[in-house]
Chains A and B, each alone.
Chain A
Amino acid sequence: MELYAVLQCTWWLLLGVLLLGLAVMVGMDMGVGAILRYVGRTDAERRVALNIVGPHWDGNQVWFVLGGGAVFAAFPLIYATAFSGFYVVMLLLLWSMILRPLGFEYRSKLPSAAWRNVWDWALLVSGLVPMVVFGAAIGNLFHGVPFHFSWNLTSTYTGSFLGLFNPFAILCGLLSLSLSVFMGAVTVMNGATDAIYERARTLVRVGATLAIVLFAVGGFWIHGMTGYVRVAGPGAGVAQTPLQQQVILDAGAWLANFHAHPLLWALPVLGFAGMLLGLAAAGARRSHLAWWLGALAWLGVLGTAGVALFPFLLPSSSVPAQSLTVWNASSSRLTLTWMLGFAAVFVPLILWYTSWAFYVMRGKVSAAAVEADEHAY
Chain B
Amino acid sequence: MHDLHVVDLSRLQFALTALYHYLFVPLTLGLSFLLAAMETVYVTTGKEIYKRITQFWSKLFLINFALGVATGLTMEFEFGTNWSFYSSFVGDIFGAPLAIEGLMAFFMEATFVGLMTFGWTRLRPGQHLAVTYLVALGSNLSALWILIANSFMQMPHGAHFNPTTMRMELSSFTDLIFSPDAQAKFVHTSIAGYVTAAVFVAGISAWYLLKRRHVDLARRSFRMAVLFGVLATAGVITLGDALGFVGAQAQPTKLAAMEGLWKTEQAPMPFNLVAFPSQQEQANHGAFQVPYVLSLLVTHSLTGSVPGFDQLEREATTRIRDGIPAVAALQTLSARPGDADALAQFRAHQKDLGYGFLVQRYAPDVSKATGAQIATAARDAIPQVAPVFWSFRVMVVLGLAMLAYFVLAVIYTMRNRVERKRWFLKLAVWMIPVPFLANEAGWLVAEVGRQPWTVYGVLPTWMSASTHGVGYMVFSLAGFATLYTTFIVVEMYLMVRAIRRGPDDHADTVPNDTLLADRMAGYAEG
Contacts and interface: CB of A to CB of B under 8 A. Distances in A.
A91 interface: yes
B120 interface: yes
A84 B106 contact: no
A109 B115 contact: no
Contacts of B71: 98
Contacts of A151: 331, 334-335
Contacts of B472: 87-88
Nearest to A350: B107
B91 A346 contact: no
Given A72-B80, A332-B170, A346-B104, A106 B490 contact: yes
Interface in A320-366: 331-332, 334-335, 338-339, 342-343, 346-347, 350, 353-354, 357, 360-361
A110 B497 CA distance: 10
Contacts of B475: 88, 91
A58 B99 contact: no
B154 to A, nearest CB: 19
A126 B87 CA distance: 27
B30 to A, nearest CB: 19
Which range holds the interface residue count of chain A?
35 or more
A210 interface: no
B290 interface: no
Contact of B102 (A55, A65, A88, A91): A65
A77 interface: yes
A310 interface: no
B335 A80 contact: no
Contacts of B476: 87, 91
Contact of B494 (A72, A109, A241, A375): A109
Interface in A37-91: 54-59, 61-62, 64-66, 68-70, 72-74, 76-77, 79-84, 87-88, 90-91
Contact of B66 (A56, A95, A106, A153): A106
Contacts of A373: 118, 121
Contacts of B94: 72
B111 A70 contact: no
A77 B84 CA distance: 9
B424 to A, nearest CB: 32
B162 A55 contact: no
Which range holds the interface residue count of chain B?
35 or more
B100 interface: yes
A331 B173 CA distance: 14
A184 B507 CA distance: 36
B485 interface: no
Given A77-B91, A375-B117, A375-B118, A98 B337 contact: no
Contacts of A77: 88, 91
B48 to A, nearest CB: 16
A241 B170 contact: no
A279 to B, nearest CB: 30
B414 interface: no
B31 to A, nearest CB: 15
A105 interface: yes
B363 to A, nearest CB: 15
Nearest to B331: A151
A239 interface: yes
B73 A87 contact: no
A357 B91 contact: no
Interface stretch (B242-250, B341-349, B395-403, B460-468): B460-468
Contacts of B123: 360
A10 interface: no
Contacts of A346: 103-104, 107
Interface string B76-115: 1101111011111101111110111111101110111111
A76 B95 contact: yes
Contact of A68 (B76, B166, B169): B76
Contact of A154 (B65, B85, B335): B85
B118 A354 contact: no
A209 interface: no
From A154, A244, A361, name the one whose CB has the most chain B CB atoms within 10 angstroms: A154
A69 B77 CA distance: 8
Contacts of A331: 91-92, 95-96, 169-170
B110 A58 contact: yes
B490 A102 contact: yes
A79 B490 contact: no
A353 B114 CA distance: 12
A100 B70 CA distance: 8
A137 B54 CA distance: 44
Contacts of B491: 106
B299 to A, nearest CB: 36
A84 B84 contact: yes
10 contacts: A55-B114, A58-B113, A73-B99, A76-B95, A95-B483, A98-B70, A102-B70, A110-B494, A331-B91, A353-B112
Can you list the 6 inter-chain pairs with the closest CB atoms, starting with the nearest? A76-B91, A83-B80, A59-B111, A72-B95, A73-B95, A105-B66
Given A73-B99, A373-B121, 17 more contacts: A58-B113, A76-B95, A76-B167, A80-B80, A97-B70, A101-B70, A105-B65, A105-B66, A106-B66, A110-B494, A154-B2, A338-B173, A339-B99, A353-B108, A353-B112, A361-B122, A374-B505
